[in-house]
Structure 1
Amino acid sequence: MPTVLITGANRGIGLELARQYAADGWRVLATCRDPDRAADLAGIGGNVETHRLDVDDASSVDALAVDLKGQSIDVLFNNAGVIGKRGASIADVDYDVWARTMATNLFGPVRVAWALRDNVQASTLKVMAFTGSKMGSIGQNTGGNVIYRSSKTALNMAVSCLAQELESKGVTAVVFHPGHVRTDMGGPTAPVTAPESVAGMRKVVAGLVPGDNGTFWNYDGAPLPW
């Protein structure tokens, strides 16, 4: 039975990832800050284990790594993230919000990936997937939203570096743009549903080969420019 670990699994894309992987018979390690308040996550059937994890807290990440020591993780899906201040420009940026957004969207997923690298390396599939955004693409930048954009651009570079560092271990690390998804973050009028987004990303994950290490994907399988 393959195993997936999902961060930010209590809502939105993370919750849908947990639902779909569990429905397909995977062992799901679902993490969130407060499992006691994650009612929707608790309601998912199948082989689902809930673990407490705050990606902003190094001690929380270390504790999870200790709990999971010796357990293989086929797919590590670093999904947890925040929007920061929506629409922020350089002219009105709040540097405290910017710093907190970078901590969650950049430091958090990299910290989790590095802490659990042995678990992924010990698995059959050896995949690390990161929920990024095409808003982090410099090639497609249209301006504005500097806080969110820069956090995702930095994540792109960090994953590219991580991919090179772990390539010799057989790990395939990729970044996804999940689409503009109808979630609390994406808003009620977003054009892509969570089931559509997750099904597309899972299809890409299932088809990854070592040569895809360090690549950037749209949820529908189209490559994206950095």
Structure 2
Amino acid sequence: MTENTTANVRVALVTGGTGGIGHVVVERLVADGFAVAVHYSGNKDRAEAMVADLVSRGGQAIAIGGDVGDEDEMTAAFDAVESAFGGIDVVVNTAGIMILTPIVELDLDDLDRMHRTNIRGAFVVSKLAARRLRPGGAIINFSTSVTRTQLPTYGPYVASKAAVEGITLILARELRGRDITVNAVAPGPTASPLFFNGKDEAAVARFAKATPLERLGQPEDISETVAFLAGPARWVNGQVIYTNGGLA
């Protein structure tokens, strides 16, 4: 763990920071000069190893745990970031789970579990960020391009991410006068553990061919959009950015 020693360093909290996309987002923000809090839910060892590596390379980072759906735990997480770095400028909410199943076969316990992380978690994190970000800040939530493609078996997941888009677009309007942007990134098929889970090689190949660029996205492609929204994109607000290689 390291603490911020420069008053003008921008500070980011990345939920789900140990995940495939979250990890690369953390790396990109540190490279851009941010002090970063790497949030984890269950993988404390991975988060601490990431932080140790970042600090060894001259970055500023801490690891913080918590269930994104638990307001008390996330309040403590925000407190820890502010204590370490003096404030928070950017929150990137990559934490999420995806369970694929036809709607008619849906286990409602799975629905509740996914919605606790994806919907309740988005409300909790966005609410706390809206209260505590400094002027000039950015809230960046994560949706999915499947909200537009309507693929079978994605119904429960898309329902949760459509809710995230609604939260994002309305919160952007509610924060009028605060100088805080609120946007969502909607990745297309991206080579991450979340995407590969449950897919065979043929399915992966079909997704790779689905975009005009004829490849899967890489986590680095997504982190480029996050870095833009976290930094120079002060006139992009209340938007869903489809980072998907042209997926129709």
State whether structure 2 residue 109 is matched by structure 1 residue 96: yes
State whether structure 2 residue 87 is matched by structure 1 residue 63: no
Q: Number of residues paired by the alignment?
A: 217
Q: Distance in 2 between matches of 1:49 and 1:99?
A: 30
State whether structure 2 residue 170 is matched by structure 1 residue 161: yes
| Structure 1 counterpart of 2:114, one-letter code | T
Q: Structure 1 residue aligned with 2:50, among 15, 21, 41?
A: 41
| Structure 2 counterpart of 1:178, one-letter code | P
Amino-acid identity (%) = 21
State whether structure 2 residue 142 is matched by structure 1 residue 127: no
Deviations 1:65-111 (A, max 9, x none): 33345743221101100002x1x222111111111111101110220
State whether structure 2 residue 52 is matched by structure 1 residue 27: no
Query: 2:150 maps to what in 1?
Result: 141
Q: Distance in 1 between matches of 2:163 and 2:61?
A: 31
Residues 37 and 81 of structure 2 are in contact (CA less than 8 Å); yes or no, is this contact kept in structure 1? Answer: no
| Mean CA deviation greater in 71-80 or 183-192 | 183-192
State whether structure 2 residue 91 is matched by structure 1 residue 76: yes
Deviation for aligned residue 1:203: 2.8
Distance 1:204 1:66, change over 3 A: closer
Deviations 1:141-166 (A, max 9, x none): 34431111100011111112211211
| Structure 2 counterpart of 1:183, one-letter code | S
> Structure 2: 5+ residue runs without aligned partners?
1-8, 209-215
Query: 2:226 maps to what in 1?
Result: 201
Residues 10 and 40 of structure 1 are in contact (CA less than 8 Å); yes or no, is this contact kept in structure 2? Answer: no
SS at match of 1:10: coil
Deviation for aligned residue 1:214: 1.2
> Structure 1: 5+ residue runs without aligned partners?
none
Q: Distance in 2 between matches of 1:203 and 1:76?
A: 13
Query: Which aligned segments of 4 or more residues in structure 1 are displaced greater than 6 angstroms?
Result: none
Q: Which has the larger radius of gyration?
A: 2
SS at match of 2:62: strand
Q: Distance in 2 between matches of 1:36 and 1:24?
A: 24
Q: Which has the higher contact order (CA 8 A, sep 6+)?
A: 2
SS at match of 2:96: coil
Query: 1:214 maps to what in 2?
Result: 238
| Structure 2 counterpart of 1:202, one-letter code | A
Residues 167 and 213 of structure 1 are in contact (CA less than 8 Å); yes or no, is this contact kept in structure 2? Answer: no
Distance 1:171 1:215, change over 3 A: same
Query: 1:9 maps to what in 2?
Result: 17
SS at match of 1:185: helix
Q: Distance in 1 between matches of 2:227 and 2:80?
A: 26
| TM-score normalised by the chain length of structure 2 | 0.78
Q: Distance in 2 between matches of 1:72 and 1:220?
A: 33
Equivalent residue runs for 1:180-199 within 5 Å:
180-187=189-196, 189=204, 191-199=216-224
Deviation for aligned residue 1:197: 2.1
Deviation for aligned residue 1:172: 0.9
Deviation for aligned residue 1:40: 4.8
Distance 1:200 1:65, change over 3 A: closer
Deviation for aligned residue 1:7: 0.3
